[in-house]
A and B are shown apart, each in its own frame.
Chain A
Amino acid sequence: MQMSYFHFYKTALRRELLMALRRLSEVANPLMFFVLVVALFPLGIGPDPKQLAQFAPGILWIVALLASLLATDGVFQSDYQDGSLEQMLISPMPLTLTVLAKVTTHWLLTGLPLTLISPLMALLLQLPTEGMIALMASLAIGTGVLSLLGAIGAGLTVGLKRGGVLVSLLILPLYIPVLIFGSGAVQAAVQGFAYQSHLAVLGGFLCIAVALAPFAISAGVRISVEN
């Protein structure tokens, strides 16, 4: 019996999540990184609330971006090593769906927890409460874009022995617009301006990325596996 694409996507997503939950300590790394690094800033900069609040949007966004990047490297690694990626490549089911399930998992395990814990870390950095909603909304949308973009780099470099630094070099330039609009949204909200336009731009990025990135990721994975 044939399987519908939607059902296949759900199956793939369930498999990815199941595997992730069975190695939770590894999966929790980006979140730990986020918490620890943000917690260091008040110690490094000094406890002056005004100064901290001024830097808070930038700090939160930069650390969230790096945390997301940290987990990006491994998106395809184990599947490449044990031959699962080969099977996905020659499957009659589209590779775009399989990689989309992987990216979704990456977001559910990095972007989403980061978003949920961000108000707590924002308090630590004395971010004014007006900025909270903008922070959470921009992180929720923005990390989605980061996951999609990051997977392009991960797919392209999965065949290389030491792809880690290369992923960062390839992907960071693409991350920059997301960072600018993400922290911009929070800054605008803190200063009492409308931040919805920033979010709208981020939403636009997300739409474009969801529509196009799976094809770019698939192409990257194919290039990595096929030679």
Chain B
Amino acid sequence: MTTMTDNTAICIEARDLSLERDGRQLFSAINFQVLAGEILQVDGDNGAGKTSLLRILAGVSRLGYAGQLLTGGQPLAEVRSQYNENLLYIGHNSAVKTTLTAQENLAWSQSLAARQSIDVSSALAKVGLYGYEQVLCQNLSAGQQRRVALARLYLSSASVWILDEPFTAIDKRGVAQLEALFVEHVKGGGTLVLATHQALAIDYPVQTLVLGES
């Protein structure tokens, strides 16, 4: 760790990150850096700790892990509020309420992101939900519900995206569309961390972190 890097450019850096869960070592002493404009793909067998790692990176889990997490060269815990303002995290459970419509779900996620209600219907149209704005999410398919969550990507101004299995239940065309969006995001100086088993079919360098390999 003696390489001199411009610390301000480092978006997320993990040093000796270890996690033990229920007496099992999920991962130990992993190190990585994701800079602005980079993609980190987290891969690993089921139960290898992908979701746990992403939850730690997103700041959802703040307890139970060892090691250091830095953003912009500073410990994440110290700059958490700035970090959160700049973060978009879509978890394993996509936080879509089945008793709300697609539009209401998306509007709420915008409120949580501290943004005034903006027109969300264009974002819904982009994920192929045109005409479904007023449909309760319990009447949508699993893939469509996932798309409601992913529509946040089109509205987001956050530079750090942390996505847990974004392609689950998404059809081929949707996957291609998402991949294009990812490239656009990182080319614009964003950072992307995603957990997926699928190899990304994009023309852009991807860092890979495989968990559970010793």
Contact = CB atoms under 8 A, between A and B. Distances in A.
Are A and B interaction partners?
Answer: yes
Interface of A: 1-3, 8, 11-12, 15, 18-19, 22-23, 78, 81-84, 86-93, 222-223, 225-227
A12 B100 CA distance: 13
B114 A87 contact: no
A93 to B, nearest CB: 6
B58 A90 contact: yes
B18 interface: no
B61 A83 contact: no
Interface in B92-130: 92-100, 104, 108-109, 111-117
Interface of B is mostly: loop
A82 B95 contact: yes
Contacts of B111: 3, 8, 11-12, 93
Q: Which of B95, B100, B113, B115 has the most CB of A within 10 A?
A: B95
Contacts of B64: 226-227
Interface stretch (B6-14, B30-38, B83-91, B197-205): B83-91
Contacts of A90: 58-60, 84, 87, 89
A220 to B, nearest CB: 14
Given A19-B100, A82-B94, A84-B95, A91 B61 contact: no
B55 to A, nearest CB: 8
Contacts of B59: 89-90
Contacts of B112: 87-88, 91, 93
A92 B85 contact: yes
A88 B89 CA distance: 11
B97 A84 contact: yes
Given A2-B116, A227-B61, 20 more contacts: A3-B116, A11-B108, A11-B111, A18-B99, A19-B99, A22-B99, A82-B95, A82-B98, A83-B94, A83-B95, A86-B95, A90-B59, A90-B60, A90-B84, A91-B84, A91-B112, A92-B84, A223-B63, A225-B60, A226-B64
A90 B60 CA distance: 6
Interface residues of B, number: 34
Contacts of A91: 84, 112-114
Interface of A is mostly: helix
A11 B112 CA distance: 10
B62 interface: yes
Contact of A89 (B60, B81, B96, B99): B60
A88 to B, nearest CB: 7
Q: Which of A3, A81, A83, A226 has the most CB of B within 10 A?
A: A83
A8 B111 CA distance: 7
A92 B114 contact: yes
Contact of A226 (B61, B98, B108): B61
Given A87-B109, A90-B60, A226-B63, A3 B115 contact: yes
Nearest to A22: B99
Contacts of B61: 226-227
A227 B63 contact: yes
